[in-house]
Chain A
């Protein structure tokens, strides 16, 4: 007589995450938070490479602070390879009327990239932000957004979907 433990069923999804560290020329910068499980690579601190053979769901949260509480942020996913914005944008309103100096709610930009959208061997994407108003910082540490520690941090996650 033998006993076999019940196997835990997993989905076919794979996910990697990167932590937002700041911004460079309007492009969010990221750092890895662990070993990679997807086919996605990060050629630079601001770009991600999605190889053909899979589809991908991209979701990046926006996090910023502003000590003067006076700025807006528009985030978008940019397809560097094809020079086009893709997916859904997200915005932050950081001003006095909202009474807070950080993101309000879980604002995310997102895009679904199908395998058929990748006409070459890969596409590169990045997260771009357009800021109005000064003194806005996107800096984070492992403990959170600059000046607002302890709450977790904005990240990008890319889910690899089997084709």
Chain B
């Protein structure tokens, strides 16, 4: 008799999103996801995902400025510094509060080694503070045949 326990992620794609709004995201902080599908959450509970095999991962965010500014905000995938990885960030002109300052995505190709992957807020300015509404932080991944 054999058992095939379905205790872990085993689909060709995975996705994750945030189920509650997130306020006061500052430089260096992460836009966090808390609902994960066909993927494990990161192992240190910081709102990322745990990539198990080589994957093409997209991170999408729609955020608004808070307390006046999301000054020259940028984001990046953080944690994928492996030989195969190359993450892409982006920048937007963001000098107004309450507008959708970030509405875009990052991508990264991860290596075969397990790694925790997060969406991190960066900034070239000095006052980057953001908020993300429900389901406005999303991660979508495709497991690759590497």
Contact = CB atoms under 8 A, between A and B. Distances in A.
- The main secondary structure of chain B at its interface with chain A is loop
Interface string B52-78: 111010000000000000001011110
Contacts of B91: 100, 102-104, 148, 151
A136 to B, nearest CB: 15
**Contact residues of A: prevailing secondary structure:** loop
Interface string B76-119: 11000011111111111101000000011111110100000000
Contact of B90 (A5, A99, A151, A159): A151
A3 B7 CA distance: 12
Contact of A98 (B54, B88, B93): B93
Interface residues of B, number: 50
A4 B88 CA distance: 37
Contacts of B5: 3, 5-6
Interface residues of A, number: 42
A72 to B, nearest CB: 15
A22 interface: no
Contact of A14 (B10, B108, B111, B145): B145
Contacts of A102: 91, 124
B130 to A, nearest CB: 15
29 contacts: A7-B10, A8-B53, A9-B10, A9-B11, A10-B54, A10-B143, A10-B144, A14-B146, A15-B56, A17-B109, A19-B86, A33-B84, A33-B86, A99-B93, A99-B95, A100-B72, A100-B93, A102-B124, A104-B90, A105-B103, A105-B104, A106-B90, A106-B105, A150-B76, A151-B76, A151-B91, A152-B88, A152-B89, A155-B86
